Chains A and B, each alone.
Chain A
Amino acid sequence: MNRIQSLFEQKENKVLSFYCTAGYPRLQDTLPVLTALQAAGADMIEIGIPFSDPLADGPVIQESSAVALANGMNLQELFRQLKDVREQVSVPLILMGYLNPLLQYGVSRFCRDAAACGIDGLIIPDLPLEEYRREWQHAMEAYGLNMIFLVTPFTPQERLREIDECSSGFLYMVTTAGTTGGSIGPDEATKRYFSFIKEQRLNRPVMAGFGIRDKPGFDQACAYVNGAIVGSGLIRVLQQYPDKGEIVIRDFVHSFF
């Protein structure tokens, strides 16, 4: 059982996960941000691998990716930084990255090096199920990495079931049509979608993401699913206070309690 499964065994609701961009705001901030998030009470962390053309991201994460790339972040550097991360961080860690940089690094090599650092799972937003099966499933299973797929309000029920079968760890429920950095409202459509997902009684735990920016949004999501992922909101505070990471991270995480 890996750390993701252990987490959901111990905690079925109000699982609070954060997204941070590797090498942001400064190249060497990756590890301090992870330790600060864990110390503040984050249950799980997604580490974003910066990419030049992040299609599913809104302006905040786009900007953080551009800064991280300018800082010199790449996969070699990231794996160097994460080499001993498990000496300091025990919460589940997930790498989130677009496909092309991972392909250039090599599918099998990427899975091997991620697993060696103690990474638990991957999110690859532009890797569809079909290509995952052809090119990724074998290597990921061999290295014990969970694959976390996204499901959206436009995913048909039949495909939702199929994705649920193929996912390991949890399902990433995209709350609303849009890129990252929007916000969910208490509107009827959002409620209907949350209810629909809850009624499906899926095999995997479900984490809501995209548009969860504060406690009301988090609580709303937790009324239906196991927890939520906060991304752009954290990047925004790091952008504003790049030199006070530890304090602003603590305050930001605590604002969800």
Chain B
Amino acid sequence: MNFTIDENGYYGHYGGAYIPEILRTNIVALKQQFLALRDDPDFNAAYDRLLRDYVGRPSPLYYAPRLSERYGATIYLKREDLNHTGSHKINNTIGQVLLARHMGKRHILAETGAGQHGVATATVAALMEMQCTVFMGETDIARQQPNVEKMRLLGATVVPVTSGSKTLKDAANEAIRYWIHYPADTHYVIGSVIGPDPYPDMVAHFQSVISSEIRQQLLSEEGVACPHAVIACVGGGSNAAGAFYHFLEEEQVQLIGVEAAGKGVDSGHTAATIATGSAGVIHGSKTLLMQDSDGQIKEPYSISAGLDYPGIGPLHAHLHETGRASFLQATDEEALQAAFLLMRMEGIIPAIESAHALAALEKLSFSNTGPVVVCLSGRGDKDMDAYIRAAPASFKNHQL
């Protein structure tokens, strides 16, 4: 089974580049530049140095003793939450902004849901002296306010998006529209493994450092390069793509993606694309998406702004179709409970997105298996409001 992209940008049936003609020149140039630089020693040296000295990589692979005991398994957390800016998003942002600089671009665009990708992009834009504009849905601006303030402090312009459901999908629409207006000197840094070819392949490539490190770290900790399973949350699917990447050809490794079920897969308030979607075209790529029988895109719902997206990367659609990866769903409530558990058992406040991956531990059994790696894609500072609102009463009354 082949999980690499073909020359037209397809993973099996999914992918491609369904874009307005005006963006084609940009996309073609981007693909050429990416293919030329992905194996370029100087480019990679610059990229690796920034990941090490600026982001703080490698991120730890932390053995979680109390979680392991609770689930009767050997559980490791890949600590992407400890990266600079607080999530895995910066791995991709550094790569793309370096690429954009090579291409002579001066202005960086990004869409953001939870604000993690927006903050990562604003950060790298400041570092590399680029102008930065971030599109963010009004709904998300309200629920992720700290990240909005961070982006502004870093010098980015945050544009509130008022179309559609005012969330991640609409932010991507607006970023694409802006790019159509200013294609010449602007690069659009897509934050997930979505969008037209070459984005899914490029973002997966820049995120693949996650699984590359997992292999090395697991080898030194456990004496094996391959875990029994890798678990990651999936909105568009960039941290999952990065965590799966170097295990795709290792068939004994179970790859498990966890989608946001919102209020329940069948509740009508969900972002579980694999569970409820069908094939179509969204944001320039053929993939699975949530749509009605007329092909209109459905408004997704999740407590997690980062997973609140009606599509999924074409790589994941392909992994699902071929059976190479399995996809589970976790509700808002299940994610919250998993987050509270991690706080109390391991002393880590996870991003609500990453908490969806942790929630899968409740649904699966890993007793007498090899090690299980959960990608802890981000930290929970931005989710304090939601956590405080949802915390059980017993959490709030611990006074001496």
Query: Is there contact, CB below 8 Å, between A150 and B291?
Result: no
Q: Which residues of B contact A127 (CB under 8 A)?
A: 18
Q: Which of A103, A126, A156 contacts B295 (CB 8 A)?
A: A103
Contacting A at CB under 8 A, from B21-66, are 21-22, 24-26
Q: Which of A62, A105, A128, A154 contacts B163 (CB 8 A)?
A: A62
**Chain B min CB distance to A207 (Å):** 15
Query: Can you list 10 A-B contacts (CB < 8 A)?
Result: A51-B296, A52-B297, A53-B282, A100-B291, A103-B295, A128-B17, A128-B19, A150-B20, A152-B21, A159-B24
Known contacts being A126-B281, A128-B17, A154-B183, is A53 close to B164, with CB within 8 Å? yes
> What 0/1 pattern do residues 105 to 132 of A give for CB contact below 8 A with B?
1000000000000000000011110110
CA distance A71 to B3 in the complex (A): 43
Q: Is A89 an interface residue (CB 8 A)?
A: no
Query: Is there contact, CB below 8 Å, between B280 and A100?
Result: yes
Query: Is there contact, CB below 8 Å, between B20 and A102?
Result: no
Q: Which residues of A contact B160 (CB under 8 A)?
A: none
Query: Is there contact, CB below 8 Å, between A155 and B295?
Result: no
**Chain A min CB distance to B163 (Å):** 6
Q: Which residues of B contact A55 (CB under 8 A)?
A: 20, 173, 176-177, 180
Q: Which residues of B contact A178 (CB under 8 A)?
A: 180-181
Q: Which residues of B contact A105 (CB under 8 A)?
A: 294-295
Query: Is there contact, CB below 8 Å, between B180 and A126?
Result: no
CA distance A178 to B18 in the complex (A): 17
Q: Is B284 an interface residue (CB 8 A)?
A: yes
Contacting B at CB under 8 A, from A72-97, are 74-75
Query: Is there contact, CB below 8 Å, between A177 and B182?
Result: yes
Query: Is there contact, CB below 8 Å, between A125 and B20?
Result: yes
Q: Which of A99, A131, A174 contacts B22 (CB 8 A)?
A: A174
Known contacts being A100-B282, A104-B295, is A53 close to B169, with CB within 8 Å? yes
**Chain B min CB distance to A254 (Å):** 31
Known contacts being A154-B25, A156-B25, is A128 close to B18, with CB within 8 Å? yes
Q: Which residues of B contact A53 (CB under 8 A)?
A: 164, 169, 173, 282, 297
Task: Given contacts A53-B173, A159-B24, A177-B182, list 19 more A-B pairs with CB under 8 A.
Answer: A51-B296, A53-B164, A69-B296, A99-B18, A99-B281, A100-B280, A101-B294, A101-B295, A103-B279, A104-B293, A128-B17, A130-B8, A131-B18, A149-B21, A150-B20, A155-B22, A155-B25, A174-B22, A178-B181
Known contacts being A104-B294, A126-B284, is A56 close to B180, with CB within 8 Å? yes
Known contacts being A55-B176, A154-B183, is A103 close to B22, with CB within 8 Å? no
Q: Is B235 an interface residue (CB 8 A)?
A: no
> What 0/1 pattern do residues 160 to 203 of B give for CB contact below 8 A with A?
00011000010001001100111110000000000000000000
> What 0/1 pattern do residues 152 to 171 of A give for CB contact below 8 A with B?
11111001000100000000
Q: Is B16 an interface residue (CB 8 A)?
A: yes
Query: Is there contact, CB below 8 Å, between A179 and B295?
Result: no
Q: Is A249 an interface residue (CB 8 A)?
A: no
Known contacts being A52-B297, A104-B291, A130-B8, is A150 close to B18, with CB within 8 Å? no
Query: Is there contact, CB below 8 Å, between B21 and A150?
Result: yes
Known contacts being A103-B281, A179-B180, is A151 close to B21, with CB within 8 Å? yes
> Number of A residues whose C-beta is below 8 Å from B?
37
Closest 10 CB pairs of A and B: A104-B295, A101-B295, A152-B22, A52-B296, A74-B294, A154-B25, A100-B295, A150-B21, A52-B297, A178-B181
Q: Which of A100, A101, A155 contacts B21 (CB 8 A)?
A: A155
Q: Which residues of A contact B169 (CB under 8 A)?
A: 53
CA distance A178 to B176 in the complex (A): 10
Q: Report B's interface with A, CB cutoff 8 A.
A: 8, 16-22, 24-26, 163-164, 169, 173, 176-177, 180-184, 279-282, 284, 289, 291, 293-297
Q: Which of A62, A149, A159, A177 contacts B180 (CB 8 A)?
A: A177
Query: Is there contact, CB below 8 Å, between A177 and B183?
Result: yes
Query: Is there contact, CB below 8 Å, between B21 and A177?
Result: no
CA distance A150 to B279 in the complex (A): 26
Query: Is there contact, CB below 8 Å, between A56 and B20?
Result: yes
**Chain A min CB distance to B289 (Å):** 8
Q: Which residues of A contact B183 (CB under 8 A)?
A: 154, 177
Query: Is there contact, CB below 8 Å, between B181 and A177?
Result: yes
CA distance A130 to B10 in the complex (A): 13
**Chain A min CB distance to B179 (Å):** 9
Closest to B177 in A: A179
Q: Which of B8, B22, B296 contacts A150 (CB 8 A)?
A: B22
CA distance A92 to B18 in the complex (A): 27
CA distance A132 to B181 in the complex (A): 25
> What 0/1 pattern do residues 29 to 57 of A give for CB contact below 8 A with B?
00000000000000000000001110110
**Chain B min CB distance to A111 (Å):** 16
Query: Is there contact, CB below 8 Å, between A101 and B18?
Result: no
CA distance A178 to B178 in the complex (A): 8
Query: Is there contact, CB below 8 Å, between B294 and A75?
Result: yes
Query: Is there contact, CB below 8 Å, between B296 and A154?
Result: no
> Which of B16, B24, B297 has the most C-beta atoms of chain A within 10 angstroms of its own C-beta?
B24
Closest to A149 in B: B21
Query: Is there contact, CB below 8 Å, between B21 and A128?
Result: yes
CA distance A128 to B163 in the complex (A): 25
> Which of B16, B18, B177, B183 has the most C-beta atoms of chain A within 10 angstroms of its own C-beta?
B18
**Chain A min CB distance to B73 (Å):** 41
Query: Is there contact, CB below 8 Å, between A104 and B16?
Result: no
CA distance A150 to B22 in the complex (A): 8
Q: Which residues of B contact A51 (CB under 8 A)?
A: 295-296
**Chain A min CB distance to B281 (Å):** 5
Q: Which residues of B contact A179 (CB under 8 A)?
A: 177, 180-181
Q: Which residues of A contact B26 (CB under 8 A)?
A: 154
CA distance A199 to B381 in the complex (A): 59
Query: Is there contact, CB below 8 Å, between B20 and A126?
Result: yes
CA distance A221 to B104 in the complex (A): 33
Contacting B at CB under 8 A, from A176-221, are 177-179
